């Protein structure tokens, strides 16, 4: 395979990790082919044109000043940031009683909910202690890792959280941070996720935090511009079925043909990677029996303008009942329309995803109007169901359940012969974020070059 034309690589997956890896290898003389199952590039970034020339992020969206590799890549691609608008008061509908009037939401300055401050302070203190104890590069080496990895976040909350306000808020917080139901993730994964992302305070913050900015015009542009550079080397509509190796090469089989190369880079979520036929087989699977899909459905309600701002509201809300467990103002900077983005996460995502499109729109619009009574009828509604997306199997990232880190963690990035692994789930820095995806790609490029 190597020779006068240079070494070759097949990259599976045209998300941020795959395209960044492909670009890096191509720049170093590799003949690169990128195989993407979808009819678009972008992976778990996806842009929706909510109005002519006005794009919103249906997938990954936010970044902060610590996301240095993403910011550097954006600068190289000519992309700018736009601040996440958070001016004004927040709305909180935190009565879990189904008979309660959701229109009686509380309005508060800032984002701290109108719950018992001591109870929430104790919750955050316990989470901070767990986070500080995690081994940042090898979570399975964390002190008491076996116990923490066997315990679900739901079990931990049952044992540790005494005050009803802490018990109420914990799943809402977890859903916002990780798109997880507490029963789906281990305590070790929860603590690692917070540590990996820069800590609880940084991950949860807009100004000065991980949600400070968005990419002007949409995060999908990162992949589109990388793909433009690669040109015809990116092949869409080619889901990979099998990866077979022999002494000389690796062959990647799709529904449309086979691609033989010196190395393969698989930039796929673990659940997708495990569905591929590997020969020889993987010594350790990419996912376990308890590995779950990230439970996220994203809803964009489009209005003629962001009318909530005229009433001193930021568009931010937190809600004990769904479908929209939180909302945020994602209106384009140009101000031509108002976009209220709702996040449906955890167990609520499963319920919402089972509704018809008409039912989804009606439920989301009704709840938004209860939270923000000044709203007119939305002029449009876009629902992006990542939970049931066949080529993502969840978002923001895979949820590592009980036992996953202990069993799968040590081989997270270990090459399988000529097969190398990329993707945000393989990064112990900024796991689940765009920054983690890029860092995983740089690691893979270095690995491939090192093998010669």
**pLDDT tens for residues 74-124?**
999 999 999 987 889 999 999 877 666 666 789 999 889 999 999 999 999
Q: Say what the pLDDT of residue 97 is.
A: 72
Which pair of tokens denotes residue 276? 């591929």
Is the per-residue pLDDT at 335 higher than 80?
A: no
Give the whole-angstrom CA distance, residue 396 versus residue 339: 21
Output DSSP code: residue 86.
-
| Stretch 332-342: mean pLDDT | 88
| Stretch 146-172: mean pLDDT | 97
Is the per-residue pLDDT at 3 higher than 80?
A: no
Cα dist from 242 to 21, 346, 376, whole Å? 20, 32, 51
Give the whole-angstrom CA distance, residue 283 versus residue 420: 14
Pseudo-torsion of CA 163, 166, 169, 173, nearest 10°? Answer: -160
Half-sphere exposure (Cβ direction) of 429: Cα atoms closer than 13 Å:
12
Is the per-residue pLDDT at 212 higher than 80?
A: yes
Which pair of tokens denotes residue 230? 């690669």
Q: Say what the pLDDT of residue 146 is.
A: 97
Q: Tell me if residue 351 falls in helix, strand or coil.
A: helix
Domains of the chain, CATH where assigned: 8-43+220-287+405-451 (3.50.50.60), 47-87+209-217+295-385 (3.90.660.10), 113-203 (1.10.405.10)
- At 1, the pLDDT band (50, 70, 90 cuts) reads very low
| Stretch 10-29: mean pLDDT | 98
Lowest pLDDT segment from 77-86, 126-135, 165-174, 420-429: 77-86
Is the per-residue pLDDT at 421 higher than 90?
A: yes
Residue whose pair of structure tokens reads 């100004």 in the numeric block: 207
Is the per-residue pLDDT at 413 higher than 70?
A: yes
Average pLDDT, rounded, for the chain: 95
Q: How many helices (H) and strands (E) does the chain have?
A: 14, 21
Angle at 420 between CA 32 and CA 243, to 5 degrees: 75
pLDDT tens digits, residue range 268-310?
Answer: 999 999 999 999 999 999 999 999 999 999 999 999 999 999 9
Q: Say what the pLDDT of residue 103 is.
A: 60
On whether the CB atoms of residues 11 and 230 are closer than 8 A, the answer is: no
Torsions phi, psi for 190 (to 5 deg): -60, -50
Beta strands in 234-357 (DSSP E): 234-235, 240-245, 250-254, 257-261, 263-267, 277-279, 296-303, 313-319, 326-329, 338-345
Give the whole-angstrom CA distance, residue 183 versus residue 401: 8
Is the per-residue pLDDT at 254 higher than 50?
A: yes
Is the per-residue pLDDT at 177 higher than 70?
A: yes
Q: Say what the pLDDT of residue 417 is.
A: 97
Q: Say what the pLDDT of residue 2 is.
A: 44
Q: Say what the pLDDT of residue 99 is.
A: 65
- What is the arrangement of strands in the sheet containing 257-261, beginning at the earlier edge strand? 257-261, 250-254, 240-245, 277-279
Is the per-residue pLDDT at 5 higher than 80?
A: no
- Rg of the chain taking only CA atoms, in angstroms: 22
Q: Say what the pLDDT of residue 101 is.
A: 67
- At 452, the pLDDT band (50, 70, 90 cuts) reads confident
Residues whose CB is less than 8 angstroms from the CB of residue 128 and which lie 6 or more positions away in sequence, other chains included:
199, 200
Alpha helices in 343-433 (DSSP H): 347-353, 357-371, 404-408
Give the whole-angstrom CA distance, residue 267 versus residue 34: 10
| Stretch 420-439: mean pLDDT | 98
Give CB contacts under 8 A, 24+ apart, made by 119-126: 119/163, 119/165, 119/166, 120/165, 120/166, 120/169, 122/163, 122/166, 123/161, 123/166, 123/169, 123/170, 123/173, 124/200, 126/160
Q: Say what the pLDDT of residue 240 is.
A: 98
Q: Say what the pLDDT of residue 309 is.
A: 95
| Stretch 211-233: mean pLDDT | 97
Give the whole-angstrom CA distance, residue 317 versus residue 322: 12
| Stretch 204-209: mean pLDDT | 90
User: What letters, b where the CB count within 10 A reaches 16 and e where it falls short, cover 383-394?
Assistant: bbbbbebeebbb
| Stretch 191-196: mean pLDDT | 97
Which pair of tokens denotes residue 439? 């860092």
Which pair of tokens denotes residue 218? 């949409």
Give the chain's end-to-end CA distance (angstroms, integer). 13
**pTM for the whole thing?**
0.95
């Amino acid at each position: 395979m190597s020779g006068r034309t240079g070494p070759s690589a097949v990259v599976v997956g045209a998300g941020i990790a795959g395209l960044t890896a492909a670009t890096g290898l191509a720049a170093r003389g590799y003949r690169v082919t990128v195989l993407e199952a979808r009819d678009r590039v972008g992976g778990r970034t996806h842009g929706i044109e909510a109005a002519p020339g006005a794009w919103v992020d249906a997938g990954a969206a936010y970044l902060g000043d610590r996301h240095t590799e993403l910011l550097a890549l954006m600068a190289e691609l000519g992309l700018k940031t736009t601040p996440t608008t958070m001016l004004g008061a927040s709305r909180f509908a935190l009565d879990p009683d189904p008979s309660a009037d959701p229109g009686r939401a509380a309005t508060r300055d800032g984002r701290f909910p109108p719950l018992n401050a001591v109870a929430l302070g104790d919750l955050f203190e316990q989470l901070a202690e767990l986070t500080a104890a995690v081994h940042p590069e090898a979570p399975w080496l964390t002190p008491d890792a076996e116990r923490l990895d066997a315990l679900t976040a739901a079990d931990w909350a049952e044992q540790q959280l005494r005050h009803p306000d802490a018990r109420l808020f914990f799943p809402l917080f977890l859903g916002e941070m990780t798109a997880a139901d507490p029963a789906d993730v281990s305590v070790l994964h929860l603590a690692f996720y917070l540590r990996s992302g820069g800590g609880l305070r940084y991950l949860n913050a807009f100004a000065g935090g991980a949600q400070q900015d968005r990419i002007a015009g949409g995060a999908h542009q990162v992949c589109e511009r990388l793909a433009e550079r690669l040109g015809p080397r990116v092949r869409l509509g080619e889901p990979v079925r099998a990866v077979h190796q022999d002494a000389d090469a690796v062959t990647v089989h799709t529904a449309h043909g086979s691609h033989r190369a010196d190395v393969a880079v698989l930039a796929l979520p673990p659940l997708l990677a495990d569905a591929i036929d590997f020969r020889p087989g993987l010594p350790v699977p990419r996912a376990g029996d308890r590995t779950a899909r990230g439970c996220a459905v994203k809803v964009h309600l489009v209005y003629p303008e962001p009318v909530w701002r005229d009433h001193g509201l930021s568009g931010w809300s937190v809600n004990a009942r769904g479908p929209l467990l939180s909302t945020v103002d994602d209106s384009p900077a140009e101000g031509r329309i108002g976009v209220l983005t709702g996040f449906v996460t955890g167990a609520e995502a499963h319920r919402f995803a089972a509704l018809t499109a008409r039912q989804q729109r009606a439920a989301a619009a009704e709840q938004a109007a209860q939270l923000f009574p000044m709203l007119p009828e939305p002029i449009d509604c876009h629902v992006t169901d990542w939970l049931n997306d066949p080529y993502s199997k969840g978002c923001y990232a895979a949820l590592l359940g009980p036992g996953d880190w202990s069993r799968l963690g040590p081989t997270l990035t270990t090459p399988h012969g000529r097969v190398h692994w990329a993707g945000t789930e393989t990064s112990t820095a900024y796991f689940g974020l765009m920054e983690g995806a890029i860092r995983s790609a740089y690691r893979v490029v270095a690995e491939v070059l090192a093998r010669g």
